[in-house]
């Protein structure tokens, strides 16, 4: 064995070891713990009224958050990449702030602006809209912490997008609207999907800001992560791990799907799943220059 292959082996083991130590082993541990009483126990744990209500609420809120941030994140990314305006650099710098702020502080910030003693809060109260300790508050908190994902994953692909592709579409008779949907969106789709899926899984796990903004009202504002926290506090680690593992499973499936969908076109679906019966053409490496 040469030094070179030895080095390669060492590097590979280091990478595998690092990922295993940090992610795989803890995952295995919690999965083991949740299934220790068998699959029946797991299903029982996640289908108690309180647990299932928390899970449904979490999925609902995360879904809504994902849609809103996909739309506004896309628009913001386009504006930040394509248009010059005073203060653009400042806005661009602000985008990362949700990553930097502790989520508890995020919760405090939202409470401070929409609280019942503020002008905005009073105005909302007059209109009989409850934001804090209600579902909209949860969505608001999730929106805040996941805002950077769509924008940051779209920005580079938008910058890379050649204006020429759009011009080519124009020259073939496509209107700007058609060009946007048939050329621009598909070209930036991998970036968009990354942003959207990360938003979703991040929203599923949010805890700090939600516990402050929406509180911990079972069956009403209690999301999955808050439920897990409550179960740990009340010495029910079994219930806590089962709900955690369920959320983890969903996240894992979403991320596996994302990995597939962001591959180059033509390689996205597993071979057995491709619609076309035509075999993929064999490509000799020398043909690609």
Contact residues toward another protein (CB under 8 A) are: 162, 164-165, 167-175, 178, 182-183, 186-187, 189, 264-266, 276, 278, 280-281, 283, 287-289
Question: 119 near 158, Cβ under 8 Å?
Answer: no
271 vs 278, which CB is nearer to another protein? 278
User: Who's near 52: CB < 8 A, 6+ residues apart?
Assistant: 46
Helix 49-82 to helix 237-261 angle (10° resolution) is 30
Count Cβ neighbours within 10 Å for each residue of 89-98 and write b for 16 or more, e otherwise: eeeeeebeeb
Answer left, alpha or beta for residue 15, where phi above 0 means left and psi between -120 and 50 means alpha. Answer: alpha
- Shortest Å distance, C-beta 6 to another protein: 34
- Shortest Å distance, C-beta 252 to another protein: 27
127 vs 289, which CB is nearer to another protein? 289
- Shortest Å distance, C-beta 17 to another protein: 34
Own/partner pairs, 88-95, CB within 8 angstroms, 24+ separation: 95/147, 95/148, 95/151, 95/152
135 vs 268, which CB is nearer to another protein? 268
Q: How far from chain centre, in Å, is Cα 276?
A: 31
- Shortest Å distance, C-beta 84 to another protein: 14
- Shortest Å distance, C-beta 275 to another protein: 12
Count Cβ neighbours within 10 Å for each residue of 103-124 and write b for 16 or more, e otherwise: beebbbbbbeebbeeeeebeeb
CA–CA gap between residue 67 and residue 62 (Å, rounded)? 9
Helix and strand tally (H, E) in the chain? 15, 0
Cα 219 to Cα 46, 49, 116, 132, 224: the distances in Å are: 14, 8, 23, 16, 11
126 vs 287, which CB is nearer to another protein? 287
96 vs 160, which CB is nearer to another protein? 160
- Shortest Å distance, C-beta 154 to another protein: 16
125 vs 178, which CB is nearer to another protein? 178
- Shortest Å distance, C-beta 85 to another protein: 18
37 vs 186, which CB is nearer to another protein? 186
CA–CA gap between residue 105 and residue 111 (Å, rounded)? 10
- Shortest Å distance, C-beta 288 to another protein: 6
116 vs 176, which CB is nearer to another protein? 176
Cα 279 to Cα 27, 168, 282, 288: the distances in Å are: 38, 30, 9, 19
């Amino acid at each position: 064995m040469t030094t070179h292959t030895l080095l390669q082996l060492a590097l590979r083991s280091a990478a595998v070891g690092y990922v295993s130590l940090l992610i795989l082993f803890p995952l295995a541990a919690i999965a083991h713990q949740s299934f220790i009483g068998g699959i029946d126990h797991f299903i029982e744990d996640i289908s108690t009224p309180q647990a299932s209500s928390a899970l449904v609420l979490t999925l609902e809120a995360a879904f809504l958050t994902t849609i809103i941030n996909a739309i506004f994140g896309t628009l913001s990314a386009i504006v930040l990449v394509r248009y010059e305006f005073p203060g653009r650099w400042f806005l661009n710098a602000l985008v990362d702030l949700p990553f930097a702020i502790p989520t508890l502080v995020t919760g405090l910030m939202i409470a401070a602006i929409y609280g019942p003693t503020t002008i905005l809060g009073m105005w909302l109260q007059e209109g009989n809209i409850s934001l804090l300790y209600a579902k909209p508050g949860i969505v608001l908190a999730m929106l805040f912490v996941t805002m950077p994902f769509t924008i940051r994953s779209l920005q580079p692909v938008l910058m890379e997008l050649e204006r020429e592709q759009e011009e080519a579409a124009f020259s073939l008779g496509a209107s700007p609207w058609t060009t946007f949907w048939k050329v621009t969106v598909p070209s930036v789709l991998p970036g968009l999907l990354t942003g959207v899926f990360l938003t979703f899984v991040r929203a599923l796990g949010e805890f700090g800001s939600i516990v402050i903004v929406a509180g911990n009202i079972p069956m009403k504002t209690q999301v999955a992560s808050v439920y897990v926290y409550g179960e740990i506090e009340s010495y029910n680690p079994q219930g806590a791990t089962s709900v955690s593992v369920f959320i983890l499973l969903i996240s894992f499936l979403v991320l596996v799907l994302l990995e597939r969908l962001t591959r180059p076109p033509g390689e996205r679906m597993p071979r057995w799943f491709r619609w076309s019966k035509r075999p993929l053409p064999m490509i000799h490496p020398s043909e690609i220059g």
